[in-house]
Structure 1
């Protein structure tokens, strides 16, 4: 993708052409600058804050391996004759001893070697631990933790061909929900590693440019965002999140809306023309469903090779009501019925605009907050998001229905 080269050396290369969805509206203005010019660093260096590690401050350090009883083990494991799995888990989101015991027991029942166990820490959200497991030539990786842990492990497994088993834990479990996995049956998901089906799904890739010109690249499984949604996550209290789960984001949203101001962005879908818009938030989705059964993007698929984009551009209080109606009522209720879909076909509402393609580049100045799968990732003046089609293999229970994925 040429967007990274443009971000690195300032060139104005064209994007790859791609077959994209309808992008009518927001006609480009002749006086708007190119994204490169719109994203020129300002005088303030916006360094990213520490990413919420989806872990505990009491667990610092890099990737660490433990045995079935929790004792420390060297990172280099003894070779195994049979197939072997690795479990990467967040010890603050699970019962470690119980989980390790079940994975070890079911591995043995399946004729696999004793699994490798890796705990996440503040300095390793799970990606380094997963790479350590891959160095040991494991045949499968299980992950247990919140959305941040799943994101990090999935990023390390993308394009490796090693299957990922998701053991739902923590607050959101959005990837598990979009795969329609059982959220309260750990044994079924562990067994899926050894005797279940496998299915290829897409993964997202975000290339971020900071205000000082530094470029970072991160994966995401569910969605990325710039603007109000990221500010909402930054303003969500950790203590409240632990007490009431995802409902805590309502508190974060309320506190973010007080000072929410629209900002101008330049954006361009692969193969399409440049646009300018004032927005409150832009969401880049690999999956379409949120917590509570809310369909952010009802037609999104995790296995279609496409990136779905929601541009939130409400004007005033009525505009925010339009956003709520579009996401909570139209997408989650009306679209389920034929009569409701007819109503939506006749309605014109610009508060939320939907786009679809293989990738999109967006630039703004000054820098705006960024989030990936519910974790804050500091601020950026430019972001390019794309889809790696079929980049991740996931383990599913035997006979799991994949028609809605």
Structure 2
């Protein structure tokens, strides 16, 4: 079964896509990753999206227009994938998160836009979307959903391992077996650095490419102390967060409370070190001996060297070594969720999201023909193997 997974993450800079051909033999699911690509948003659309995100005010008219424009962008990226790699049985579109409503220790709602009907109309394939909210209705955080993939990929490790995703937000899944895991959002990975880089015009690409800005700066210890004192870090897992909390105004407020306004490079260095310290603290507390990293932040040498500095006893590897290219892992995870949903299997791990029980995820939009579902599976896979080849990513290489 050929499934195309698609997502624009919390860095909201473009659409990642991964086409995976799944086949099940007994208790093992195999996935051949046949196509991966990243398609940047048009500059004007990204600017409109950024302007509408919290803490900015927006209108329902703007949300409606962005829902259409982002849906059309996803549709074009899906059509390009199909033109290059062939027809698919299902497209899974995570869309673009624009708000994640957390009230204290509980998630109350989440909103992803990018109207899936545009994708179905453009490609003729059925589309699974709106994949997070069902977990929230069951008492979960709707995140991190990638724990489903992490549990299968790392269950064979002899000991405790953690999968770390460094997107806009850093999230981690600690795996001690396929049925024994915990997961949570740690805090900002690239979100605050990106906000400063964009606001101050430090890079045309909108992020600290190869960590060059951070490498040229010095950490402001007073500001870092204020940032590390945020109550979010002391909340127990499972927990989730997003740019509703970690945005440019948050940085401005922290600098005011610290009585410090460092130069731009020093501020980027400080925010990068914030990620190093918060991730390092949580990884250390988890007691793992292996950390498998993915997401744009794994291409930032300053961030990765910082993690190796604060985690000297932990082996740090990229998810590429486990068959999931670090830049494409989330798109692969949503393709996997699509396989589970089509087969009537729950796509959440309650120990990771905090839900009362696992749920089948998503809403299906029919394609050009009748919607035909496979025979429901009676048992979930116990293992997953991913294989390449992984062709060159389309359009533009993603973050560093």
Could you state the TM-score of these two structures normalised by the residue count of structure 1?
A: 0.27
Could you state the TM-score of these two structures normalised by the residue count of structure 2?
A: 0.27
Larger Rg: 1
